Every structure is written in C-alpha cells, then in structure tokens.
Amino acid sequence: DWPTNAIDYFVLHRLDAAGLVPSPSADRRTLVRRVYFDLLGLPPTDAQVEAFLNDQAPDAYARLVDNLLASPHYGQRWARPWLDLARYSDTNGYEKDRERTIWPFRDWVVEALNADMPFDEFSIQQLAGDMLPNPSQEHLVATGFHRNTMLNEEGGIDPLEYRFYSVVDRVATTGTVWLGLTTGCAQCHTHKYDPLSHTEYYQLMALLNNAEEIDLNLVSDESRQHRKTLEQQIDAAIAALPAEYPCDSDANRSPNDQLESDFKVWLQSEHESAARWQVIKPTKLASNLPQLETLDDGSVLSTGDITKRDVFELEFDFSELARSSSNFSPSGATALRLEVLPDDRLPAGGPGRAFYEGRKGDFFLSELTITANDEPVEMKTSSVSYGKLSIGGGSADAKNVFDGEGSTGWSVSGREGERHQLVVNFAAPLPKVGKLRLTLLFERHFAASLGRFRVALCQQTKDAIASKLDDADERELVLTEDLENLPDDLRSKLLRHYLLTTEKLAEARKPVDALRNKLKVRDTTMIFSERKPENPRETFRHHRGEYLSPREPVSGGVPEFLNSRDQQVGNRLEFARWLVSEGNPLVGRVVANRAWAAFWGRGPHSTPGDFGTQSPPPSHPDLLDWLACETQSTGWSQKRLHRLIVTSSTYRQSSHATAELIEQDPSNILMARGPRFRLPAEMVRDAMLRSSGLLTEKIGGPGVRPPQPQAVTAVAYGNPKWNTTSGENRYRRSLYTFAKRTAPFAAFAIFDAPTGENCVARRDRSNTPLQALTLLNDAMYLEFAVGIAEQAVRDAQRTAPTVKSEPTAGTGKIVELIFRRILSRPPNKRERALTAKYFSSQLSRLQAQQLDASQILTNRPSSSKEDLEADNLAAWTLVARAIMNLDEAITKP
C-alpha cells in the first residue's frame, strides 16, 4: 500500500535512511475507531463500525473519511484545539473571575470549521473582522478571538495598566498562533536569540492596540421572533391589569371607575410638575482621557479609555445656542436636566461605562459643578428619577452630587439599560449673556464614568422635578398641554405608563414585570471595534516592559526579518492580510505543523509555538515545507489538509510497537508505526458519553454544567455554586462545558485540559492515579457507566427474551455489547470469560448485601426506566466501569 500520496514519499525517505520499514496497515476495526476519534472526537457506534467492515469497495475508506469531514461533529472536534490557542473561557479570570458572555465566538469557530472556511479568511475575520468593508454580525463575532484575554476586577487596580497587560497577551498569542514565535522576550529587551527587536515588539503591539472593546447585541430570526412573542404577551398582560385594579374600601365603585378616578388625579399631579425642556448642545467638550462626541440628538457619547477619575467639561455658549433655536433662549432658564441615556454601544446598554467592577453599565457621578459666566450657579432644589447612593448602596438624593464629597454621588445600580434623569432648580434664572459650564467628576476605586447623556434647560416659575416617565421627552411635553383635550393615542400611552408604575398594582403587575425583564435580556458577545481615525490610541515603547515606564511613541509595523517584500502594514486589517499573504510562508508552516501534531501527538517541529532558533530542528523539514505549500496553494482548506493526512499510508499503519522500533525510535519520530496516545480530556468524556447512549447532539448556545463536586468551585472567589444542568443539556459534548478559569472543570483538569489563562499550542499529557480514580468514582462517569450497562442489557433483552426473566442469562451477550460500546470491538475468549466471572462475583456480593445497589445506581440517568432488576443492573454497571478504565478505552488505537 506504499506510498498512497505525497506524504508517504517524505516519510519513506527518512525510514529508508534509518534502515526501517513501515509497519503493516492497521486492521479495519482499529482504523475506523482511530479516524473517528481524529476527525470527530467521538468513537464510532457499533453500527458504524459494522457498516465500514461490511463495505468491501476499494474506496470504502476514502468515502468514510469524506462522510466524517462533512459531519457537524467535525467542527466541534477541531474547535477545541483552536479554543486552546484562543484561551477561551466563560469567565474573566483573576480574583473575582466573574462570568462573561463570549460563547457566540465559540459557536462561530464551530460553524467556520464545519463550512471549511479557508484559513486565511478564518484568520482575517478573527484578527480584524470589524475592519472589513460593511462587516456582518458574523465578522464582528469573530473578533472575539482577542477578547478572550483575562479581565482584572480586583478593587483598586488601574484599568489602563491591565489593559496594557491584555495587549501584551494579545501580542504573545498572535506570535504563537500565526508566527510560531516567542515574542514575550522582546517586551523587556531585544530578543536574545531571534531577530526581533524591542522596538519591533511595540510596533506589533501598536497594530493590536487601537481597538475599542465593546459588547455586541446579537440579532437573529429566532431572537426577533422571541422578542415579538414577549411583546405580545406583555401587551396582553397589561390589557388585563385594569380588571385587577383595587377599589377604595369606602367607595362603591367598579375597578374601571376607580382606575379612571385615580388616573385623573395622577395626570393632574404630573401636569403640575411637567416642564417644557429644551435640549442644548455643548459648543465645546473636553475630558481627561475619554473621547466626547456630540450626537445629532444633542446627547454626548463617551468612547475610548476611561480611568478611576474621569472629568468631563461641557461648555454652552449662549450666543451660539440662541442662534441655533428660534423659539428658545437659555437666558432666563430656571432649571437644568441631566439625562443619562441607554445605548447599545455601552456595557449592558449603559448609561454608564462600568465594566470590571460593580454592575456593568452603571456609573458613579461624584460631583456636578455648574457655572455661568465663571460664577457658581446657586441651586435651590434637586431630584433624581431613580438613584443609588453608590454602586450597590442605598437610595440616593440628588444633593449627593453637590455636597463636595467624592465618596457620595449618584448611580443607577440595578436599573442599567434604562433612561434616568437628574433635575436641578436654580435659585435665580440664568443671566442673559455669557457661557454655561458643566463639570462632571466621576471618581471611584474603579472606572465608572457616563457613556451617554444629554443636557436640557427649561423656563418656568414652578420647580421642575425629575420625571419617571418612559420616553419622557414626548410624554412630559404632552402633560404640559390641556389635559381635557388629549388625543386618545397619547392618553392611552399615559394610562399604560400609569398601570406600569402605580403602587396599587404592584402585586398584580409582577407577571408583567417578569415579562418586561425577559425583554431586557439580550444575547451579547464581546468584540473588537477599531477606533475612529481622529481618535487613535497612542502606543509607546515601554522601557524594560514596564507599564509605568513609557518612552517614545511607536507606529504599527511588522518585524523586518519577516517582511521580505517590504509590505506596508499600518493597521490590524493590513496586518491580518499580511500574515496570510504569499509573502509570509511562516504561517503555512505553523498551521501545517499544528495539524500534523493533532494526529500524531507531535509535529515535524516538536515545539508548535516556537519555531525560533532555540527550538529543536524539524524532524521532516521537507515534509513540513511541502504541507505548508500544499495548504496555501490549494486555498487554505483545513479539511483538505486533514483528508490528505488521514488517507496516507503513513497514518494508516498499525500502532503496534515492536522491540526493534522501541529500541531505534522510541518516540516514533520517524513514524514507522501509527500514532497511539491517550485521548484529550474532552474526548475521554465524550467517548464515554457516546458509549452510554446519552449524547445530546445539539450544537451551540451557552455553556452547560455537567455534574461535579460542589467543592471544586467553592474554593473560588465568592464561593460560587455549581448549578448542575438537568435534562438533555446535561449530556452535551464537552466543548460546551462551562469553563471557569479559577476553578476549571475538575474531570478535565485531571486529564491536562488548560485553564484558558494563556494561549496553549500543545497540551501536556500526563498519566496519574487521579485519572483512574476519576473514571472509577466521579459521579459523571458513574452515570455513564449506568447508561452503558442499561443500554447493553436492554439490547440483549431485545435479541434474547430469556435475559429479562433470568438475570444470569445472556451474560456472554451483554459482555460483548459492553465491549462493543466502549472499545468498538468484541471481547476475545479470555476477556469474555474474565468479565463474565467478574459480573458473577459482583452480583453475588450485591445479593449478599455486601454492596448496596441503590448507592451504585444513585447516579442513573434521568431518562432511565426503573423496570430492570436493581442488583443485576448494578453488577453490569460495575462491569462497564471496569472496562471504561482499560487503557484501551481512553487511548487512540
């Protein structure tokens, strides 16, 4: 069978030079199990094994490979090593390690791999999808690759410092994933071994340092329909509220009459306090660091970096304002309104920009200073529509922002994503000429400034108060009109608002409030958004790599030794395109080496993240170069590369190690035999999950929590509870297991899965007693063992009715079924006899009450039916558990 394709010529050349010959081909049963694990990360079912064994056509194996490459499980299997590189996790890391939402990026990777997105496009979208012309939602989701960095939320940290460390991580990750270079040395000094200078390191940093880190609201047909349904349910629930309206005990009224009476009283009250507000646009904006921009509606949007002490300064030139409005002059204004506005561009919809401590989207306004003609404006009264004294504190009074105390202020904790307002009544009308200035101070032990806000003035003799009305501009204006002549549609809107706010319906309104809260929940994900050209983020060379030692500014660029064609690379998109261009052959080698290592346990280059001068030379340099060129020249297809590898005679060799091979090539570097090594952590679980018949094949969605001891997460900050998932989601593939950085899923950590704290190009592979103990005693694996046993017994009952009436009948058949489920093969004669003997001994112990069947079956699957005899099922569960612990069960054959 040698050679089958070009790969075999390169391998055979090295074998000939070493005086070795290839091993025979693996038997078909071994081969089908091997290729299933490699391409799908799952073992084949017994039916799939038999189908392949019975297909004697010459192209049977090639067709099997093509079918596997077309399976949706392919993307799930190959997403895992990419997520190792992307340092994917569902939490922020560091001390608090709070939950984040970035699973849409994980789902994007699965979809892209299943679609065989060319690797060059795959790379560009992840590094700079937001900078593509008219980027789609998918392009933006892809930029989550570099949002997987950790986020420090410890009290007192400098957010700009840890943002610097995030970019350091992004440079290191980019170097590992695409260039196979250890760039970290050059953070502090010029690389001692590779031709990467200290300055060039920061030029790379500049390319990755100009993005805003924002959340994206995801929109899909499914989410649109979900929101439409919720809105219909809310409308119906509100329409039913009048019938629930309580009547006064001393009045003989119907609910509708009482509602109408109270509504008129409320209308009158709101009418008396309503004001005609005029929005005023700032004529000048300034801040310490954030970029302030005036939008068309007169509101101010804050973007860019924020600090723990931000100061916004707004100037309003009266003469300019008078020219811009024919019916309003700020001169003579008696009150000022500061509206804080929600915006999808802000964390949790705003109105604030808090993102790493407290509640996302909140703010903390410590002080508000108002001057006219450089003289302080004296305040008479003030109010807020809703407020907290501090983030997580008690109720706030508006005077907190005028008391000169930085420790008190105004926040809207718990009501993020909504519009709120603060109103100030002046002791005297504003002067007729001059300028109005507002200074907003945001000072806290974490960054919490406003994201979007708007200023308005009014002129009236009565004091204005902060309105709690939704869409206050429209409705408050309506309330200044003649209430007796309100149009029906406006009156209906005001009645709806009253029904949603009156205390008299607080209890009856709970179902409505619950639906409205659901409507606020949106699927979001973390993305990049390149800053506007007029507001670039400056990058500096940092002496000795220290954040506090910035030196001269640097512009974006790539290392000279890699840029043989002298291409201009000045931003992230140009950098991404340069990486995968024909002028950069290094990326092809790194990609091909990593793919080979996934099948063989090691690549031609044994250090996949370091191709530098300190790494060992490649074992097969010609093979590596050919694979790289073949990958690039055929459109960067990952599936084509994988097909090429698994259809080679090299791959299809038997993995049996003869004494000669062990002596001459113990690590199988020359590949004179097939690959054989322990499965990765997720494949170990998925293999048992499929064998149990419990596997849920659902793709995508938030992470799930399979069973594990509560003590695993109890040691993390805040003692978070691990709420085990129930139903079919409990049995989803391991790719979807919720990943917490400071308390990784224990069954994965024991089998060497990474934590997501750093980019991992190659997992360690250990062999410890803890692994055997996990397979024996972990509640999750015991549940799988029950599932395997139950499936085998039921399959035997279907084919041999006597098995149901006589527990020991069909023992040989059940033994065979368990072997086939776990090992993809029938037992040999000796194994059959030993296993039957073990079953009998365990059944005897159970019947003698030396073992408790109820304890063994405690973890039986929720779908399990309790019609099987308990001692019998428990004995078979112990058999399944023993076979699950065979080395063969967790090793690629």
- Which residues, in sequence order, are CB contacts of 304 under 8 Å at separation 6+? 212, 289, 290, 291, 531, 535, 537
Please state, rounded to an integer, the average pLDDT across all residues of the chain. Answer: 92
Is 792 inside any structural domain? Answer: yes
Q: Phi and psi for 144 in degrees, rounded to 5?
A: -60, -15
Query: In residues, how long is the chain?
Result: 893
Same domain as 242, residue 184 = no
Question: 309 to each of 290, 403, 412, 444, 552, how far by Cα in Å?
Answer: 11, 17, 18, 7, 25
Positive or negative, the CA dihedral 225, 227, 232, 233 is: positive
Does one domain contain both 347 and 395?
Answer: yes
**pLDDT surpassing 90 at residue 835:** yes
Q: Which runs of consecutive H residues, i.e. helices, occur in 86-144?
A: 103-114, 119-128, 137-142
Span 20-27, average pLDDT: 96
Per-residue pLDDT, averaged over 264-280, amounts to 84
% of the chain residues with pLDDT over 70: 95
pTM of the model: 0.93
In a domain, 99, yes or no: no
Angle between helices 829-847 and 811-823 (to 10 degrees): 110
Q: What is the pLDDT of residue 362?
A: 94
E strand residue ranges, 496-615: 524-530, 539-542, 550-554
User: What CA–CA distance (Å, rounded) separates 372 from 367?
Assistant: 17
Q: Which two tokens stand for residue 402?
A: 């005028």
Does a structural domain hold residue 87? no
pLDDT value at 470 more than 80 = no
Whether residue 475 is predicted with pLDDT greater than 70 in this model: the reply is no
Average pLDDT over every residue of 504-510: 93
Residues 646-657: what's their mean pLDDT? 97
- pLDDT band for position 806 (cuts 50, 70, 90): low
> Residue 480 — very low, low, confident or very high, per pLDDT cuts 50/70/90?
low
- Nearest 5°: phi and psi at 453? -155, 170
Amino acid at 752: D
For residue 124, being part of any structural domain is answered with yes
CA angle 761, 701, 572 (to 5 degrees): 50
pLDDT in tens, 334-362: 999 999 999 999 999 999 999 988 889 99
Residues 429 and 486 in one domain: no
Torsions phi, psi of 696, nearest 5? -95, 125
| Angle, CA of 879, 880 and 881, to the nearest 5° | 90
pLDDT at residue number 497: 86
Q: Give yes or no: residues 247 and 340 share one domain.
A: no
**Rounded CA gap, 81 and 177, in Å?**
11
Tokens linked to 787? 């599932």
pLDDT, greater one: 576 or 385: 576
Q: How far apart are CA 635 and CA 646, in angstroms?
A: 19
* 354 shares its domain with 424: yes
Residues 449 and 517 in one domain: no
**C-alpha dist (Å) from residue 619 to 10, 179, 181, 494, 610:** 11, 19, 18, 77, 15
- Residue 110 pLDDT exceeds 80: yes
Query: Is there a domain that residue 209 lies in?
Result: yes
Task: Flag whether 51 is in a domain.
Answer: no
**In which band, very low, low, confident or very high, does the pLDDT at 394 lie, cut at 50, 70 and 90?**
low
**Residue bearing the bigger pLDDT, 805 or 166:** 166
pLDDT on residue 325: 61
Clarify whether residues 292 and 408 are in a common domain.
yes
What pLDDT does 694 receive? Answer: 96
What number of other Cβ atoms are within 10 A of residue 844's Cβ?
13
**What is the DSSP track for 741-805?**
TTS--HHHHTTT---SSS--SS------HHHHHHHHH-HHHHHHHHHHHHHHHHHHHHH-THHHH
Q: What pLDDT does residue 863 have?
A: 81
8 A C-beta contact, residue 638 and residue 598: no
Assigned token pair, 49? 């094994």
Q: Are 620 and 50 in contact (CB under 8 A)?
A: no
pLDDT of amino acid 405: 87
Dump pLDDT digits (tens) for 424-442.
999 999 887 688 999 999 9
Asked if the model's pLDDT at residue 309 lies above 60, the reply is yes
Gyration radius of the chain over CA positions: 34
Domain boundary among 583, 611, 631: 583
Name, in order, each residue with C-beta under 8 angstroms of 344's C-beta and a sequence gap of 6 or more.
217
CB-based contacts of 104, cutoff 8 Å, min separation 6: 141, 144, 218, 523, 525
Domain count, the chain: 4
Note the pLDDT of residue 365: 95
Among the candidates 543, 560, 583, a domain finishes at 583
Please tell me the predicted confidence (pLDDT) of residue 853. Answer: 95
Residue 542 pLDDT: 97
Beta strands 379-384; 550-554: pairing state: unpaired
Question: What percentage of the chain's residues is helix, strand, coil (to nearest 5)?
Answer: 45, 10, 45
CA distance 835 to 880: 10
Q: Judge contact between 322 and 433, C-beta under 8 A.
A: no
For residue 596, which of 656, 672, 671 has the smallest C-alpha distance? 671
For the cut 70, the answer to whether the pLDDT of residue 548 exceeds it is yes
Write down the residue that tokens 């997992």 correspond to. Answer: 763
pLDDT of residue 271: 79
Helix (H) or strand (E) holding 421: strand 420-426
* Nearest residue to 692 via CA among 774, 795, 767, 772: 795
Distance CA 185, CA 174 (A): 14
Note the pLDDT of residue 801.
Answer: 67
50-59, 495-504, 617-626, 795-804: lowest mean pLDDT where?
795-804
- The residue out of 537, 562, 583 marking a domain boundary is 583
Mean pLDDT of 8-26: 96
Both tokens of residue 608?
């996949």
Shared-domain flag, residues 160 and 125:
yes
Q: Is 383 helix (H, G, I), strand (E, B) or coil?
A: strand
Name the burial class of residue 376, with classes exposed (0-12), middle (13-18) and buried (19+) by CB atoms within 10 angstroms of its CB: exposed
The mean per-residue pLDDT over the stretch 444-472 comes to 85
Least confidently predicted of 163-172, 407-416, 620-629: 407-416
Q: How far apart are the first and last CA of the chain?
A: 20
Residue range(s) defining the domain that contains residue 547: 118-218+523-583
Which pLDDT belongs to residue 807? 58
> 56 in a domain, yes or no?
no
Residues 371 and 392 in one domain: yes
Percent of the chain beyond pLDDT 90? 78
Same-domain check for residues 300 and 445: yes
Domain-embedded: residue 357: yes
Considering the domain architecture, whether residues 460 and 434 belong to the same structural domain is answered as yes
Q: Are 342 and 428 in a shared domain?
A: yes
What pLDDT shows up at residue 809?
A: 66
Compute the C-alpha angle 118/123/128, nearest 5°: 130
Range from 309-313, 495-499, 585-589 carrying the lowest mean pLDDT: 495-499
